[in-house]
Chain A
Amino acid sequence: MSTSRIKFYQTGTYTAGNRLLDEAARTVQSRMDRTNSLNSGHRACQGCGEALGARYAVDAAMRASHNRLIAINATGCLEVFSSPYPESAWQIPWMHSLFGNAPAVASGVAAALRAKGRDDVKVIAQGGDGATVDIGFGCLSGLFERNDDVLYLCYDNEAYMNTGIQRSGATPPFAQTNTTQAVGEAPGNPTGTGKNVPRIAMAHGIPYVATASVADLHDLEAKVTNAMGLQGARYIHIHVPCPLGWGSDPAHTIKVARMAVESGLFPLFEAQFGMVVDRTLIRHKVPVERYLELQDRFKHLFGPQGSPDAIAAIQSIADANIATYGLIA
């Protein structure tokens, strides 16, 4: 399912230039009739990648469902910053139940719609990496194996940010968090740990799995649109930098995300029924240092007390991704 990609080499970015396009080819977000599903006025931090990713993803899902959408939200930053009583930033039917059950709650909504013969309304569930890869993982796997008609969106900022930056199963090797401090003989998150949930999702053989990034919002919207065009369990894993948790400049959220993609550390691909069907080629390959040096959580790897071995190990992860997914033509 390849979509025609629009490149704006004159600006060096994928994110600008809607005005140069036909109306139909513009992003959902640049259209006058966008739904602002996650409306302005919420309490996310400056430069929050999750708020940006959710805004694009949910509006795209709304457009694809002709504004007939119900969203389920796990506990986490997105839930907390968008719904402190009596203010809700959600302009769509939205529900939060618990940290670990968003996939099951969404399955329930889908089942209720089936029972009532309502095939006009679509269901999405969303959560951070903690809710998705750790505490809600059992429910997520259940949703996948039953092939319930739900699109699950994981906003991956690679740690428990809402509780104050603790390690999750999606925290990368060597990253400093408040439970994997940069102290001791092996500073930061231990290597050889963590899990790759997009691959695990693919192993369930579900109709659609994709990775996406706020570095490429056209691509994110296109993947949500693709997913919404299919029936059954679908999963999109979205890389969303967290300035607070990563120690990056809030103005650099897109840049940090782009370096993750361009270094090969966060490969962008689409899979159907367990097989990779498309991937985004790296335009200008960068060494992983360009990504790591933007973030305080990797600061201990640099300088006189730094660890060239650790950086080399991270580079080898990026290189392996590039080889696995064929990210360089």
Chain B
Amino acid sequence: MLAQIEGSQAVAEAVVLCRPDVIAAYPISPQTHIVERLSRMVKQGDVGRCQYLNVESEFAALSVLIGASAAGARTYTATTSQGLLFMAEAVYNAAGLGLPIVMTITNRAIGAPINIWNDHSDSMALRDAGWIQLYAETNQEAADLHIQAFRLAEELSCPVMVCMDGYILTHAYEAVDVPTQSLVDTFLPPFSPVQVLDPNEPISIGAMVGPEAFTEVKYLAHQQYLRALTLIPEVAGAFEQQFQRHSGGLCSPYRMEDADAAVIALGSVIGTIKDAVDELRGEGIAAGCVKIGCYRPFPMLQLRAALEGVARVIVVEKDLAVGMGGIVSADVQRALQGLPIPVHTVIAGLGGRSIPKSSLKQMVHDARAERLNEPHFLDLNRTVIDNELARRREQRRAGPVAEHVIRAINAIGTKVV
């Protein structure tokens, strides 16, 4: 049934429909609305015998789920940014142990300077931890991906991160179709773990593995993980059949027929990019875009197939590998290896900087005219940069950069003139 609700509420309701057994969470903005809602629903008895644990850190939150999942429970948590980094050790551990935990990442920047607004630095930092990473474009998709995530995780014995843009999605109210319990029950069978801590069948989990077997263990994990590339489209297909709408999948092309320039991105910015593509098409420019819905494992072949005919690719990414440039674009380049297609890297939306349609259109014009820097920083305030660099040239101990920049812009929050 369609409801006008906040993204966080939609996700919380979707998680409850998946009948979790154990939820553990530590509050951090912008994840809080999800876990507050879950806590309330558990406390008022709407989630069966589900246990909600208020823990002392994100590291503990995921560690609780590691124990609970190994004991056969369906488990869920949500975090973001510093919280994801604080639990990093457990993130790798959960994947290594093959535990099908589902975690929402309400994507947020990483400090310093401390910043609570949206970009993808957090989930990108943990992209190779062995979790499946799905990125939601809309609140509807965010809700739907959670229902798919539990099924994927449990079929593969592999944890899943559902990434949704902090504030842009989590705090946005829009119409979301929250499905019925019976539909979800049909789609998602009860959790039946492949290994479980049980006195009736005592096993040791988490043994020490030395050089003689570690490579083989990792190889098998890699092969198992790659199965997701087959399973994700299947699960998305089954979901569409059950719920009568498309959500998820590996990557989704938009107006890519005869496209000359293709814009690639993850998450909510795809909406704005589609609008920009429409307007560019109206101006006679053959633009298109491809959404990467599953970033890990990386849909190398599917992306290559979607991009084969284009003249250029522009990757718009909300992250920065400092000293290197783009993260997603490096993967896209690998996918296009051997093809004569230039891949531009555009760093955009860092720390919540808005990505206006006009800037995206200009970006495509600049790319076609070979005017983009590599990497290109969208809407960079060059005056502020030059002033700061001049200050540093004059004075070795020039003081705190972040404070100088804020003063130069004379801005509050993210408002940039």
- The chain A residues found within 8 Å of chain B, CB to CB, are 67-70, 72-73, 79-80, 83-86, 88, 90-98, 100-101, 104-117, 121, 138-139, 141-142, 145-146
Contacts and interface: CB of A to CB of B under 8 A. Distances in A.
Contacts of B201: 93
Interface string B191-212: 0000001110111111111100
B59 A139 contact: yes
Contacts of A97: 63, 66-67, 90, 93, 97, 206
> What's the interface size class on B, roughly?
35 or more
Nearest to A139: B60
Given A70-B199, A113-B71, A104 B210 contact: no
B333 interface: no
A94 B22 contact: no
A79 B204 CA distance: 11
A85 B71 contact: no
B207 A93 contact: no
B75 to A, nearest CB: 8
Contacts of B22: 108, 111-112, 115
20 contacts: A67-B199, A84-B207, A84-B210, A91-B202, A95-B205, A96-B207, A97-B67, A104-B64, A104-B66, A105-B67, A107-B55, A108-B70, A109-B67, A109-B68, A109-B71, A111-B22, A111-B68, A116-B72, A116-B73, A138-B57
Instruction: Identify which of A98, A104, A107 gathers the most chain B CB atoms within 10 Å of its CB.
Output: A104
A105 B73 contact: no
Contact of B66 (A92, A93, A108, A141): A108
Interface stretch (B46-54, B121-129, B255-263): B46-54
A312 B64 CA distance: 45
A112 B66 contact: no
Contacts of A141: 56
Nearest to A81: B208
A116 B48 CA distance: 10
B198 A93 contact: yes
Given A84-B207, A101-B90, A115 B73 contact: yes
Given A84-B210, A111-B64, 10 more contacts: A80-B208, A85-B208, A88-B207, A93-B198, A101-B59, A107-B64, A108-B64, A113-B71, A116-B73, A121-B199
B383 to A, nearest CB: 45
B361 to A, nearest CB: 48
A165 B64 CA distance: 30
Contacts of B68: 108-109, 111-112, 115
Contacts of B210: 84-85
A86 B66 CA distance: 22
A112 B72 contact: yes
Contacts of B185: none
B2 interface: no
A116 B67 CA distance: 14
Given A95-B70, A112-B68, A112-B72, A83 B63 contact: no
A142 B208 CA distance: 27
Given A98-B90, A146-B53, A146-B54, A70 B63 contact: no
Contacts of A83: 204, 206-208
> Which 8 A-B pairs rank lowest in CB-CB distance, beginning with the nearest?
A108-B67, A104-B63, A101-B63, A96-B206, A105-B67, A112-B73, A112-B71, A108-B68
Nearest to A62: B199
Contacts of A107: 53, 55, 60, 64, 67
Contacts of A85: 207-210, 213
A155 B294 CA distance: 45
B325 to A, nearest CB: 33
A248 to B, nearest CB: 27
Interface string B377-396: 00000000000000000000
B19 to A, nearest CB: 10
